[in-house]
Structure 1
Amino acid sequence: MSTTWFESIAEAQRRAKKRLPGSVYSALIAGSEKGLTLADNLSAFDELRFAPRTAGLSGTRELGTHVLGRDVALPVLISPTGVQAVHPDGEVAVARAAAARGTSIGLSSFGSKPIEEVVAANPNTYFQVYWTGTRDDIQRRLDRARAAGAVGIILTLDWSFSHSRDWGSPHIPEKLNFRELLRFAPEGITHPRWLLDYVRTRRLPDLGVPNMVEPGEKVPTFFGAYGQWMQTPPPTWDDVAWLRSQWDGPFLLKGVIRVDEARRAVDAGVSAISVSNHGGNNLDGTPATIRALPAIADAVGGQVEVLLDGGIRRGSDVVKALALGARAVLIGRAYLWGLAAGGQTGVENVLDVLRNGIDSTLLALGKRSVHDLGPEDVVVPGSFEAELGGSTAARAEDALSHLACRPSRRRCSTAAATWE
């Protein structure tokens, strides 16, 4: 086995911390304000327990699934993240790794690589958009994504103006000029392997966001694009429905944490939602996404695909999310640590760690396929779930309208519309 291989996401994080300059690493791990949501995203998974079997276990397991219009080899997708200066190859390396492991990638509109290059590296690329600028501006970005061959759209709404951190935010320059290079020189010198990666490419870390403009136009900086986003009024549900009407294909709305908004997303015509709190970088004090997942899956899981992101660190975490109603999960920090630790190979390693963990957990649970998982496979504490924006009456009405219950999650009587 190669000495560069790591056997856990925790080890990938340790290697990333050792390799990256402190300011770059701190940008990856931080959450907003006190970090309550960031911590809960992780600790909530620890509260869930399994109900394993000891005999009659399946000799083979099927990890593949169909999500967002594509077959994937495992129920783990790459979530879009902003400028990936942790490695010179950035999103292209991530795209190649995802393709090598048979899964899809989301490319952020604030990413550092052009969508054309990313699609060439992985045909199963979804383009992520923020509601930034006018409808015409957004339409032009969609047209470029369509022409490049993007297979779907991700609209991210779980990012507000909350950006303060109790432990401070790292300094991120507008662009890397001579003055900024001098400022970062001590960090670069003390992390020579990261610096050498860029020296070999003969270029500096690129803080531009090329997918916000047409090819050939002047590329704005990350903070230039961020400033435009801050000045754009937040979208309405009518705006979401309009954007959905502009894309004929898979459309994922990322950022749903409430049952009532999950229903509004269905009404807007989206094909999938991701239960998300932006990895703890939105409103601090929001519950972990895995706590909100069961109620949302109950409410709309029969109408749209339900995904989850936030806190995935092990294959067993993926299994817990699937058991509680997710079709698949998206990962963010985990693959960025892999990218920092070993480029494309490091991201492939992260996906292998998750794949192996999913497989071994399925074996212990006596499941032949990820599609066989259900709430009976996990032990959920009584105070675990956080149902936001929902009500018992709404659940009863939903049960009657669909003439279906999920007895494995709640005992129910469709005739009396009662829930216990």
Structure 2
Amino acid sequence: MPKPAWLQNPWRQNPWFESVAVAQERARKRLPKPVYGALVAGSERGQTIEANEDAFAEIGLAPHVVGQQPERVLGTKVFGQDVSLPVLISPTGVQAVHPEGEVAVARAAAARGTIMGLSNFASRSVEDVAATGANTFFQMYWTGDRDTMIQRMQRAHAAGVKGLIATLDWSFSMGRDWGSPEIPEKVDVKTAVRMAPQVITKPGWLWAFGSTGKIPDLTAPNLAPPGGPAPTFFGAYYEWMTTPPPSWDDVAWMRETWSQISGTPFVLKGVSRVDDARRSVDAGVAGISVSNHGGNNLDGTPAAIRMVAPIASAVGDQIDVVMDGGVRRGSDVVKALALGAKAVMIGRAYLWGLAANGQAGVENVLDIMSGGIDSALRGLALGSIADLREEHLLVPEGFHRALGAS
């Protein structure tokens, strides 16, 4: 039975979009300015966030006119998990762009057969997300004391996650030249009144939350103590800021502790140097992500794609190397794999899809990636992503950045 007219969403548009750029534009139009600003903002002058995308455009492809394969294989195995395409969901914090948040993203990941990364700053619990059936990897910052971290690991394991991601590539580099977006401590009546002028102009976003009876959740349920309330985002952020930063011995402890609790893969996210990649191997990790935190860490860090080949050459035969930062299309994925990455992780791209159309929007983004990868393989006359090599690319001289190489 169709819904009565007064219950139908009057702001709904054609849900399908053909590119991540279109998803981003729809997200920009749909979201309140502070919410959209939180998605796109890099640190300081923003040069690294721009460099992440721009560097992909410097790499060309070398297609064949004859010899294309009738079928192409996009699946692979990464961090011990079989995936249908080499595009993984990178963990991102509070997803107030859609009422279902991380649960919608996890369902999309499960539907498309890939890994779901869940942030410990997420707005939905690890139990809710793992219950979707997605291959969920729980992400942790080095925050709180060791007993607290053990409790969080045990909780994630009990929920059924398939691995742990330790994110260390985030510092206090902020001071955005264009100003940081306002993120309230919590959403209450006072906050709603103050921010009403920015929200009321976005009726589609307001309708999405209003029709479910929910308000944006700015707490971090995965950081709640046993039997206690979830801290606010800023409470969680304060805990992280006041925790002494880890040493390599701490990383080894974290990896060993997770191994004893779960026995599933431990991944270190945020590697940008060859020497750090080698230290990661020494610490016993199963994989690393070559990353500059999407341009939200130290501004002026080289584009992530520039650092892939030197790091993959150094350790790619020992552990799985993935990368994240600036991936917007399937051909970007192909370039990363040809340079030695096993897969890529996406963040902003799927958040824009989530904002534009919920779970279906995230699936749309993954389908865009899949279609682009398949098209590039066809043009290169390759039958599998496993066949990709740097020889299939046109890489300009001096493109790579081998930081910390000896």
Q: TM-score, normalised by structure 2?
A: 0.95
Moved more, 171-180 or 347-356: 171-180
Quick check: 1:371 aligned with 2:382?
no
Q: Deviations over 1:328-370 (max 9, x none)?
A: 0000000000000000000000000000000000000011000
Q: Which amino acid aligns with 1:183?
A: R
Match of 2:158 among 147, 150, 159: 147
Q: Could you tell me which residue of structure 1 aligns to residue 182 of structure 2?
A: 171
Q: Could you tell me which residue of structure 2 aligns to residue 305 of structure 1?
A: 320
- How far 1:188 moved relative to its partner? 1.6
Quick check: 1:284 aligned with 2:284?
no
Question: Partners in 2 of 1:81 and 1:27 — Cα distance?
Answer: 11
SS for the counterpart of 1:201 is coil
CA separation of 1:215 and 1:116: change in aligned 2, threshold 3 A: farther
Q: Which amino acid aligns with 2:144?
A: G
Question: Partners in 1 of 2:364 and 2:226 — Cα distance?
Answer: 33
Q: Could you tell me which residue of structure 2 aligns to residue 245 of structure 1?
A: 256
Question: Partners in 2 of 1:23 and 1:145 — Cα distance?
Answer: 31
Match of 1:324 among 339, 342, 357: 339
Q: Could you tell me which residue of structure 2 aligns to residue 222 of structure 1?
A: 233
Q: Could you tell me which residue of structure 2 aligns to residue 22 of structure 1?
A: 33
- How far 1:204 moved relative to its partner? 1.0
Question: Partners in 1 of 2:309 and 2:119 — Cα distance?
Answer: 27
- How far 1:31 moved relative to its partner? 0.3
Q: Could you tell me which residue of structure 2 aligns to residue 347 of structure 1?
A: 362
Structure 2 contact 165–267 (Cα < 8 Å) conserved:
yes
Structure 2 contact 116–134 (Cα < 8 Å) conserved:
no
Quick check: 1:271 aligned with 2:268?
no
Match of 1:262 among 271, 277, 284: 277
Q: Deviations over 1:37-57 (max 9, x none)?
A: 101100000000011111111
- How far 1:177 moved relative to its partner? 1.8
SS for the counterpart of 2:374 is helix
Question: Partners in 1 of 2:368 and 2:134 — Cα distance?
Answer: 23
Question: Partners in 1 of 2:173 and 2:150 — Cα distance?
Answer: 27
Q: Could you tell me which residue of structure 2 aligns to residue 57 of structure 1?
A: 68
Moved more, 303-312 or 177-186: 177-186
Question: Partners in 2 of 1:144 and 1:4 — Cα distance?
Answer: 36
Q: Could you tell me which residue of structure 1 aligns to residue 135 of structure 2?
A: 124
Quick check: 1:134 aligned with 2:155?
no
- How far 1:214 moved relative to its partner? 4.0
- How far 1:123 moved relative to its partner? 3.5
Q: Could you tell me which residue of structure 2 aligns to residue 383 of structure 1?
A: 398
Q: Which amino acid aligns with 1:370?
A: I
Question: Partners in 1 of 2:133 and 2:99 — Cα distance?
Answer: 18
Q: Deviations over 1:196-241 (max 9, x none)?
A: 1111121210000000124541110000000010000110000000
Quick check: 1:102 aligned with 2:117?
no
Quick check: 1:357 aligned with 2:357?
no
Question: Partners in 1 of 2:63 and 2:184 — Cα distance?
Answer: 50
- How far 1:322 moved relative to its partner? 0.1
The number of aligned residues is 390
Structure 2 contact 321–342 (Cα < 8 Å) conserved:
yes
Structure 2 contact 272–307 (Cα < 8 Å) conserved:
yes
Q: Which amino acid aligns with 2:14?
A: T
- How far 1:121 moved relative to its partner? 0.9
- How far 1:184 moved relative to its partner? 1.2
Match of 1:296 among 308, 311, 329: 311
Structure 1 contact 34–166 (Cα < 8 Å) conserved:
yes
Instruction: Give the CA RMSD over aligned residues.
Output: 0.9
Q: Deviations over 1:109-137 (max 9, x none)?
A: 00000000000113400000000010111
Quick check: 1:43 aligned with 2:54?
yes
Question: Partners in 1 of 2:283 and 2:244 — Cα distance?
Answer: 19
Q: Could you tell me which residue of structure 1 aligns to residue 4 of structure 2?
A: none
Match of 2:205 among 185, 194, 198: 194
- How far 1:176 moved relative to its partner? 1.0
SS for the counterpart of 1:246 is helix
Q: Could you tell me which residue of structure 2 aligns to residue 418 of structure 1?
A: none
Question: Partners in 2 of 1:195 and 1:312 — Cα distance?
Answer: 29
Q: Which amino acid aligns with 2:81?
A: R
SS for the counterpart of 1:253 is strand
Q: Which amino acid aligns with 1:308?
A: M
Q: Which amino acid aligns with 2:79?
A: L
